[in-house]
Amino acid sequence: MPELPIYPLSEEHKMIRDAARDFAQNEIVPIAAQFDESGEFPHETIKKMGSMGFMGIEIPEEYGGAGMDTLAYVLALEEICKADASHGVIMSVNNSLYCHGILKFGTEEQKKKFITPVASGKAIGAYSLTEPQSGSDAGTMRSRATRDGDFYMLNGRKSWVTSGPVADYFVVFMMTDPEKKQKGVSAFLVEGHTPGLTRGKKEPKLGIRASATSELIFENCRIPAENLLGREGEGFKIAMTVLDAGRIGIATQALGIAEAAYEAARQYAVEREAFGQPIGAFQGTGFKIADMKTRIEASRLLIYNAALAKEKSKADGGRYSLEASMAKLFASETAMYVAHQAVQIHGGMGYSRELPVERYFRDAKITEIYEGTSEIQRLVISRSELGLK
Ligand code: CAA
């Protein structure tokens, strides 16, 4: 099969893509089903991904990263997600929601202390915005951070934190001035072992079961005032800016899942025979294959476009919210479509836990939900197009 379309990738891009592909196929594919079944966190493979530079791809080498660009990040992440979406989201959150925000808004001291161990893969970073009563309407959070001399006292409950049970460091968003609503939100860097921070039970999930998710409970958790990220009241903007980067990661996760499901379905359509011919020769299956492939390549183009827009933003400081939201919206709905069709093409075998197709189907769904639901992406896109915000 020729690779479609032909992108002008640099030698460096091809190198990281191929390294990620080899690692993913040799080290992740053989264990993915077992970790999905047990729901165990894949500590060992994540550590190895850290030593290969995958946990901080865009982070400068001086802070422990690989010092590469967004396209390199997307190419590597795509390969990891094709093998297993759980490893993929751990990598995505570490790179974009955690490291990227500190790199963009942190002081020199914060970058050294909070990025270096995480970008080098020795520690794990997480991002905590959502609360039990505050999901899509992220500006309505109730948790409070109160200044207390040279410290802030954190109180409240955060939910759905990816890597929550295992992370060593967190970027956490809390209200410092509730009267100002969104403009009263601030961002904080919190070390995982700080007294007053406890982790809730691990969420039992439909998919991405090897990625650990939990609540965080803050009860008089005292952190140094120097752990404020950005300025007081700047937290909502930081959260949104960082989510633009995160959404490129989730779009890429969706692309990886879709590719894996598509490849399984294509193979099956060629090999499986019914009524004396391969099932792919029936238009009912062949047209599915055509639509799956076309949507996957369209997703890839939107993702690469968003990656280039993010790269441009590094130079001119502009936003790439539109490009990131379009990529996430289309790629996540493509992942759901492709995984659904892949199960259908496999018939009974698609429903069996003996093949990975049912896992792709379960893993695909989350990409339409976290880091902004499809409805939120449509809101961002339509507001941007209609000049409403
Ligand atoms: N970049 C920079 N600034 C931004 C921005 C962005 N992408 N989006 C909004 N802002 C700024 C606006 O310019 C505005 O600032 P000014 O008042 O100074 O002009 C301010 O933020 C408020 O913006 P809005 O009025 O647009 O805010 P809103 O309340 O209408 O909400 C929203 C906008 C798009 C709905 C937003 O709330 C949103 O994205 N919600 C979804 C939240 C989300 O994705 N949650 C997932 C959490 S992470 C997760 O899933 C768990 C995990 O671990 C993976």
Residues marked as catalytic:
371
CB 112 within 8 A of CB 119: no
Q: Does 11-123 carry CATH code 3.30.200.20?
A: no
Look at residue 172 and tell me whether its pLDDT is greater than 70. Answer: yes
The token pair that represents 315 in the structure block: 């130079």
Q: Which helix (H) or strand (E) covers residue 201, if one does?
A: strand 197-202
pLDDT tens digits along 64-102: 999 999 999 999 999 999 999 999 999 999 999 999 999
The CATH code for residues 236-386 is 1.20.140.10
Residues in Cβ contact with 5 at an 8 Å cutoff, skipping those fewer than 6 apart: 297, 301
Out of 186, 199, 237, 386, give the residue to mutate to test ligand 1, the one with the largest number of ligand atoms within 8 Å of its CB.
237
CB 94 within 8 A of CB 66: no
Give pLDDT, residue 249: 98
The domain ranges of the chain are 11-123, 126-232, 236-386
Rounded (5°) CA angle 193-199-200: 170
Q: Looking at residues 164-171, what average pLDDT do you find?
A: 98
pTM of the predicted model as reported, rounded to 2 decimal places: 0.97
Q: Which residues sit with their C-beta closer than 6 Å to ligand 1?
A: 93, 127, 129-130, 136, 138-139, 160-162, 182, 236-237, 240-241, 243-244, 319, 321, 370-372, 376, 379-380, 389
| Rounded distance between C-alpha atoms, residue 178 and residue 184, angstroms | 6
**Ligand 1 centroid distance, CA of 291 (Å):** 33
Look at residue 5 and tell me whether its pLDDT is greater than 70. Answer: no
**Ligand 1 centroid distance, CA of 388 (Å):** 14
The CATH code for residues 126-232 is 2.40.110.10
DSSP state of 160: E
Q: Given the structure tokens 């093409």, which residue do they identify?
A: 345
Backbone angles phi, psi at 174, to 5 degrees: -145, 160
Do domains 11-123 and 236-386 share one topology? The answer is no
Q: Which helix (H) or strand (E) covers residue 308, if one does?
A: helix 283-316
CB 50 within 8 A of CB 87: no
Going by CA atoms, what residue is nearest to atom 31 of ligand 1? 137
pLDDT tens digits along 298-346: 999 999 999 999 999 999 999 999 999 999 999 999 999 999 999 999 9
**Ligand 1 centroid distance, CA of 48 (Å):** 34
Going by CA atoms, what residue is nearest to atom 27 of ligand 1? 139
Rounded (10°) angle between helices 85-92 and 29-38 = 90
